[in-house]
Amino acid sequence: FEPCLTDIEIILASTDCVFKINDTVRGEILIKVHREDAPLHHNGIALSAVGSVRLQLSEKDSSLLDQLFATVDPIEMMDACLELKPPGKLPIGTHAIPFAFALSPTVFHRSTYYDGYRAVSGGSGSHKLCETFHGQNVQVVYGVEVEIMRPLLSGGSISTGMCEFLVESRAEEEGVKRVEQSMPRKFALERFDETEEDLKTKKKKSTSKEEENSSDGGNANLKEFEIRGELSKTSYFIEEPIEGFVEIVSHPRNRKNQLKKIEVELERVETVISAEGTRSTESSAVQFTQIVDDGADVSENVRVPIHVTFPRLYACPSGAHATFSVGFAAKIIATFDDGVDDEEDGSSNAYNNSKTTFKKKSKKKKERTSSISIPISVHRAPENLGSGEKTIL
């Protein structure tokens, strides 16, 4: 048999492919039948619309046995199968077939052709729809696929493959109240984060009583530096940015520890629960926003503004469900030069001779960080809310 040259294209009514829960998803199918395929005989044209939550246990927060044997089944929120045309044939040319289906937790079963437009029978699903989200261990995906069913001897069925569209939730009264009642959150960075070397040094000191008695306990409470700041609130609409400020009150006492940069990291906290009750939680970075650049000479008592937007595909309203939950946090990270050169062997800087071999060592500055993570809740804003910024794709 000869390969089929017929083209199929799905065109959604929404230009940005974004739909609200309980909306009607509308569009049309464009089928272009070439002269070589005309007339195109088929056993029916069907559209499938699916919405599912794909889950997996965290590799960092679960054992190897849990990852191998724990049961984490995907959640089917929507599974619609619409028969757009009954068996027949399509003449040469371009054919437009409209379709529509409700974006609700409904499972439609295959039904007969109805007015060339849509199938309407089906039963209710068991899980409410969630907003589109692409996380590390939680994936909420929606998509549509069109298939022209043909016998295998005629070349087999023709499919568009799964075409993803985005789903947004609607504002909830409780979430709107939390944002409206949210208060500013102050924070302070005064000491470096402990490294592995610091922990080893502490263990050595704790094993020797003489060193422990001779150590100055008062110095442990001294501030190594002071960076203060404030977030405007701890509950945000996903359409608006995270705002606040950072202020350098005093630089490190050790002049070798120069401030290098300050970043705001948006973290997602995903929790997945298996059928056996295994619970795994993992925090991962969504995006970094640098508010103080490398080498910037920021004077003391100068406020640096914070302005961070939520990325559309990798952020969603905070929520907890039976088998998974998604939350977020804003992490303030200050990075300093440690003042110590870390020598590394550079293989690219090796010079070979017939008698001797020299390796040139490259020096790299060590870095130390100081950070604080502030949990935040994210909610969907009401449609009539005039203020706020749109999220970026």
Q: Is the pTM of this model over 0.75?
A: yes
H helices present in the chain, as ranges: 64-69, 173-181, 196-207, 209-214
**Token pair of 199, please?**
């922990």
Residue 230 has pLDDT above 90, yes or no: yes
Cβ(105)–Cβ(78) below 8 Å: yes
Residue 35 pLDDT grade (very low, low, confident, very high; cuts 50, 70, 90): confident
User: Average pLDDT of 110-139?
Assistant: 62
What residue ranges in 165-299 does DSSP mark as E strands?
A: 166-168, 185-189, 226-231, 235-237, 242-250, 259-273, 279-292
Q: Would the CA dihedral through 243, 249, 251, 253 be positive or negative? A: negative
Strand partners, 66: none
Residues 6+ apart with CB under 8 A from 205: 211, 212, 215
pLDDT digits (tens, 9 = 90+) for 343-362: 555 544 444 444 444 455 55
> Which residues are 30's β-sheet partners?
9, 96
Neighbour-count burial for 228-257, b at 16+ CB within 10 Å, e otherwise: bbbbbbbbbbbbbbbebbbbbeebbeeeeb
How do residues 322-347 score in pLDDT, each as one tens digit? 889 999 999 999 998 876 555 555 54
Residue 387 binned pLDDT confidence (cut-offs 50, 70, 90): very low
Q: What is the pLDDT of residue 368?
A: 87
Mean pLDDT of 191-204: 72
Cα(235)–Cα(237) distance, integer angstroms: 7
pLDDT digits (tens, 9 = 90+) for 68-86: 667 788 899 988 888 899 9
Structure tokens at 93: 């040319």
Q: Is pLDDT larger for residue 312 or for residue 12?
A: 12
Q: Is 16 left (phi over 0), alpha (psi -120 to 50) or beta?
A: alpha
How far, CA to CA in Å, does 249 sit from each of 28, 243, 261, 265, 369?
60, 20, 15, 21, 17
